[in-house]
């Protein structure tokens, strides 16, 4: 293989001209490291929203801030059946509001990210 595999920031689509508005706390070190250089100063400078969603309450708070922006939304959830807010719950909640998942990537051994966009 001549080219190294993409890093997490690249998988999330983060670049100097595509910054992320982070809503809520990020506790996953891998996610924090990937997002740090590409944090948007505010909604007007953001091309997407990133939120770590350890539970349903964190999702409700993040979604209340993200939904009106209509930007692509990366929901980062814990992996596994023991997750307090599994990816399936996130998918069901956003699909019910006409948001469709269109990409998923591993964040770490414990976290996964799913990107959603408003259905046209």
pTM of the model: 0.95
Round to whole Å and give the CA distance between 48 and 112: 17
pLDDT at 1 over 70: no
Two tokens, residue 75: 């929901």
39: DSSP letter: B
What is the rounded end-to-end Cα distance, in angstroms, of the chain? 38
**11: closest CA among 34, 29, 27, 28?**
34
pLDDT attached to residue 50: 98
Segments in the chain forming alpha helices (H) = 8-12, 29-35, 56-66, 87-95
pLDDT of residue 86: 96
pLDDT digits (tens, 9 = 90+) for 58-82: 999 999 999 999 999 999 999 998 9
pLDDT per residue over 7-33, tens digit each?
A: 999 999 999 999 999 999 999 999 999
Query: What is the percent of the chain with per-residue pLDDT over 90, rounded to a whole number?
Result: 93
Half-sphere exposure of 68 (CA within 13 A, CB side): 6
Nearest to 111 by CA among 92, 69, 89, 83: 83
Burial tier of 44 (Cβ tally within 10 Å: 0-12, 13-18, 19+)? exposed
């Amino acid at each position: 293989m001549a080219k190294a595999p993409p890093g997490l920031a690249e998988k999330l689509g983060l670049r100097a001209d595509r910054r992320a508005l982070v809503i809520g706390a990020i506790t996953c070190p891998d996610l924090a490291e990937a997002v740090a250089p590409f944090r948007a100063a505010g909604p007007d400078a953001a091309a997407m929203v990133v939120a770590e969603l350890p539970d349903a309450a964190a999702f409700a708070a993040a979604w209340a801030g993200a939904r009106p922006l209509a930007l692509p939304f990366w929901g980062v959830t814990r992996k596994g059946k023991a997750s307090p807010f599994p990816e399936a719950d996130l998918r069901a909640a956003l699909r019910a509001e006409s948001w469709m998942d269109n990409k998923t990537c591993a964040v770490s051994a414990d976290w996964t990210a799913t990107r959603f966009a408003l259905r046209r």
